[in-house]
């Protein structure tokens, strides 16, 4: 009697729940603008197709490019002024040392008058002040160059961000048109990574037991895939289930079809 009962429950042990999941792209992203400006070009023709190395949206960068060109010239001028002031500083330093030597020599002479000594000291301090002022100017110019270099990098970054170029991505939807003015954070386009697919399932706690050792069946056929990711906190919507993901090869046909999934 016990043997018969054991044979009757075996099919129940092997039973796996059937789930249906929509085959989705590996990743879906909404591109948002990082800069502000007027939309001057939108690639509406390629909407709904794979894009690789092509610009899909362009934001007006004319003033940025002019500013960049002028800023590079400003750095050139500033560097020239620095070199000129370095030459001036060298001459002032030599004069300062000569005047310092003269002042020290005359200050020890008993035959030199107080007026001569005061005049020598005044000349020395005057040249020293000019030298230090020139050195301060050089430091200030170098600081301006650093600030200008930062400005140039910001302009380059802004110009780069005003040309939205996709690399091996699927352009699902464009969300702006020519003539629109965008600010940072405004949605520009929806793109998808269809290099792989993913299946999102909501499994009960008992289905997670030894999940890494279980086999995934797709549409009734054994597959080489495993459950790649498991949320260890129950889902907000399906409060008794745990969200999981299975990554699979990109389909030869279309995405978004329903696939029967069994894990056993």
Residue spans of alpha helices (H) in 51-181: 62-107, 114-161
- Cα angle, residue 151 at apex, residues 63 and 53 outer, rounded to 5°: 65
| Tens digits of residue pLDDT in 131-148 | 999 999 999 999 999 999
**How many folded domains does the chain comprise?**
2
Q: Is residue 246 domain-shared with residue 173, that is, in the same domain?
A: yes
Q: Is residue 85 domain-shared with residue 117, that is, in the same domain?
A: yes
Q: Is residue 201 domain-shared with residue 80, that is, in the same domain?
A: no
Q: Is residue 6 part of a domain?
A: no
Model confidence at 248, pLDDT cuts 50, 70, 90, reads very high
Range of the domain at 102: 65-160
**229: pLDDT strictly greater than 50:** yes
Q: Is residue 7 part of a domain?
A: no
Q: Using a pLDDT cut of 90, give the percent of the chain over it.
A: 70
Question: Of 160, 190, 205, at which residue does a domain stop?
Answer: 160
pTM for the whole structure = 0.76
Of 3-12, 84-93, 174-183, 189-198, the range with the lowest mean pLDDT is 3-12
Question: Of 111, 127, 160, at which residue does a domain stop?
Answer: 160
Q: Is residue 55 domain-shared with residue 176, that is, in the same domain?
A: yes
Q: How far apart are CA 18 and CA 11, in angstroms?
A: 15
Residues 6+ apart with CB under 8 A from 222: 215
Q: Is residue 230 part of a domain?
A: yes
Mean predicted confidence (pLDDT) in 197-216:
90
Q: Is residue 99 domain-shared with residue 173, that is, in the same domain?
A: no
**Contact call for residues 169 and 191 (beta carbons, < 8 A):** yes
Q: Is residue 137 domain-shared with residue 75, that is, in the same domain?
A: yes
pLDDT for the residue numbered 11 = 43
pLDDT for the residue numbered 15 = 56
Q: Do the bridges between strand 169-174 and strand 18-22 make them parallel or antiparallel, or are there none, so unpaired?
A: unpaired
**192: pLDDT strictly greater than 50:** yes
Q: Is residue 173 domain-shared with residue 209, that is, in the same domain?
A: yes
Q: Is residue 9 part of a domain?
A: no
| Tens digits of residue pLDDT in 65-93 | 999 999 999 999 999 999 999 999 999 99
Q: Is residue 53 domain-shared with residue 85, that is, in the same domain?
A: no
Mean pLDDT across the chain: 90
**14: pLDDT strictly greater than 60:** no
Residues 6+ apart with CB under 8 A from 261: 18, 19, 20, 21, 199, 201, 216, 217, 218, 246
SS3 37: strand
Residue 54 structure tokens: 């092509």
Q: Is residue 54 domain-shared with residue 140, that is, in the same domain?
A: no
Name the residue with tokens 């495993």.
226
**164: pLDDT strictly greater than 90:** yes
């Amino acid at each position: 009697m016990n043997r018969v009962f054991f044979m009757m429950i075996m099919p129940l042990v092997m039973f796996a729940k059937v789930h249906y999941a929509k085959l989705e792209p590996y990743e879906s992203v909404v591109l948002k603008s990082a800069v502000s400006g007027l939309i001057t070009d939108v690639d509406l023709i390629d909407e709904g197709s794979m894009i690789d190395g092509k610009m899909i949206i362009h934001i007006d960068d004319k003033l940025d490019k002019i500013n960049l060109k002028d800023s590079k010239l400003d750095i050139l001028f500033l560097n020239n002024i620095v070199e000129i002031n370095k030459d001036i500083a060298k001459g002032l330093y030599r004069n300062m040392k000569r005047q310092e030597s003269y002042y020290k020599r005359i200050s020890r002479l008993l035959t030199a008058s107080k007026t001569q000594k005061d005049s020598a000291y005044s000349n020395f301090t005057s040249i020293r002040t000019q030298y230090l002022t020139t050195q301060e100017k050089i430091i200030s110019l170098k600081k301006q160059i650093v600030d200008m270099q930062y400005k140039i990098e910001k302009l380059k970054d802004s110009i780069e961000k005003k040309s939205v170029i996709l690399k091996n991505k699927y352009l699902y939807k464009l969300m702006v048109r020519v003539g629109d003015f965008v600010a940072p954070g405004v949605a520009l386009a929806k793109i998808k990574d269809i290099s792989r697919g993913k299946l999102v399932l909501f499994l009960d706690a008992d289905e997670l037991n030894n999940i890494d050792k279980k086999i995934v069946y797709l549409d009734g056929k054994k597959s080489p895939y495993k459950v790649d990711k498991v949320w260890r906190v129950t889902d907000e919507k399906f409060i008794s289930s745990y969200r999981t993901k299975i990554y699979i090869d990109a389909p030869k046909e279309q995405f978004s079809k329903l696939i029967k999934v069994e894990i056993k």
